């Protein structure tokens, strides 16, 4: 043995381990996803996501204030309307739940916390799909993209600094970028869900948004077997004017995050999704794993794979 070579020397104490740590998770790298329910008078717990709720306008404003104080990188809003229909018309209501939530939070935190919005129709349609349907029941891509562009402008006008098109429609980023530019919102950031997979790990999210999905989303979300397809989608979104690209989910797709990091110079976000959250919380509740260590290890693994920022339901807790 060559006694001059002892890698364990720098692992001897917590201070030494911290000194040589290659990756860290800082609060400003974390984005908190939140659900805001129209008409709610008190926060409503989500049973499959312990500790997560459907917020009222008052409680989401309080949460945003806490997130700003904790130094988080952003808050991502998902809206739950009182009424749904086939075209998701509530998504284009200037007095709808998302514009109202954006305005309420922006007036509370100003520029201290970037307010981000989900630009999609799945929470607003009675069939639960991310777009409007043709008479045959297929997704009408181009008509849906037109609605996304209108949604993005509506959110920007309400005060959103970042819009997140998540529907995986072809051409969505280009249409939104053009709409923002021509409406006077050229500085609004597009966080594009470029590599979003048709995953089994979205189950608890569907409870969180009261999803009424009929069928599945495999014709527009990506096949979990593919990675080259993701790199193509990322390249397209970058060319269309995306400012940040997203990989979703995170844990089952760390290789996609790494491949994206090696392909694009854009900042990369990764979504630590509801199913990933629920599995860890369930295991911890049963005493099978150490909860806080497992959370830290999970988030660190996503950063180590190459993500610059992470959407996670643990954001506020971890920052604290």
C-beta atoms surrounding 247 within 10 Å: 29
Distance CA 127, CA 137 (A): 10
**Alpha carbon distance 17, 313 (integer Å):** 27
Which tokens in the block code for residue 126? 């009675």
State how far the Cα of 97 lies from the Cα of 105, in Å rounded to an integer.
12
Q: Which of 37, 84, 196, 217 is catalytic?
A: 196
248 included as an active-site residue: yes
The beta strand positions in the chain, using DSSP E, are 30-37, 44-45, 53-55, 74-80, 115-119, 162-165, 189-196, 244-248, 268-272, 309-312
The answer to whether residue 196 is catalytic is yes
Which helix (H) or strand (E) segment is 14 a member of? helix 14-20
**Measured between alpha carbons, how far is 245 from 264 in angstroms, rounded to an integer?**
9
Out of 248, 270, 280, 310, which one is annotated catalytic? 248
**Cα(33)–Cα(171) distance, integer angstroms:** 25
**Closest C-alpha to 307, from 267, 255, 277, 248:** 267
> For the residues of 106-148, what is the DSSP string, one character each?
HHHHGGGS-EEEEE-STTTBTT--SS-B-TTS-B-HHHHHHHH
Q: Report the alpha-carbon distance of residue 223 to residue 219 in Å, rounded.
A: 9
So which residues are the catalytic ones? 196, 248
């Amino acid at each position: 043995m060559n006694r001059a070579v002892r890698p364990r020397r720098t692992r001897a104490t917590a201070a030494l381990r911290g000194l040589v740590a290659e990756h860290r998770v800082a609060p400003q790298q974390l984005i908190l996803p939140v659900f805001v329910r129209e008409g709610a008078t008190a926060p409503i717990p989500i049973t499959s996501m312990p500790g997560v709720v459907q917020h009222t306008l008052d409680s989401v404003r309080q949460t945003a204030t806490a997130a700003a104080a904790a130094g988080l990188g952003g808050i991502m809003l998902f809206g739950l309307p009182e009424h749904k229909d086939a075209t998701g018309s509530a998504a284009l209501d200037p007095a709808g739940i998302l514009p109202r939530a954006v305005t309420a939070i922006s007036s509370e935190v100003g520029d201290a916390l970037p307010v981000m919005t989900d630009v999609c129709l799945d929470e607003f349609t009675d069939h639960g799909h991310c777009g409007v349907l043709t008479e045959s029941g297929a997704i009408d891509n181009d008509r849906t993209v037109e609605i996304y562009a209108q949604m993005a402008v509506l959110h920007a006008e309400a005060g959103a600094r970042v819009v997140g098109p998540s529907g995986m429609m072809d051409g969505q980023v280009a249409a939104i970028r053009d709409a923002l530019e021509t409406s006077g919102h050229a500085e609004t950031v597009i966080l594009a869900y470029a590599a979003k997979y048709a995953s089994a790990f979205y189950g608890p999210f569907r409870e969180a948004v009261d999803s009424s999905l009929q069928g599945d989303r495999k014709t527009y979300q990506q096949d979990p077997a593919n990675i080259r397809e993701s790199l193509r989608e990322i390249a397209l979104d970058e060319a269309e004017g995306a400012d940040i690209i997203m990989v979703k989910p995170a844990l089952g797709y760390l290789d996609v995050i790494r491949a994206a990091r090696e392909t694009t110079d854009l900042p990369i976000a990764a979504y630590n999704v509801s199913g990933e959250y629920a599995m860890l919380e369930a295991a911890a509740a049963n005493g099978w794993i150490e909860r806080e260590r497992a959370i830290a290890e999970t988030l660190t693994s996503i950063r180590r794979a190459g993500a610059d920022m992470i959407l996670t339901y643990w954001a506020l807790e971890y920052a604290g």
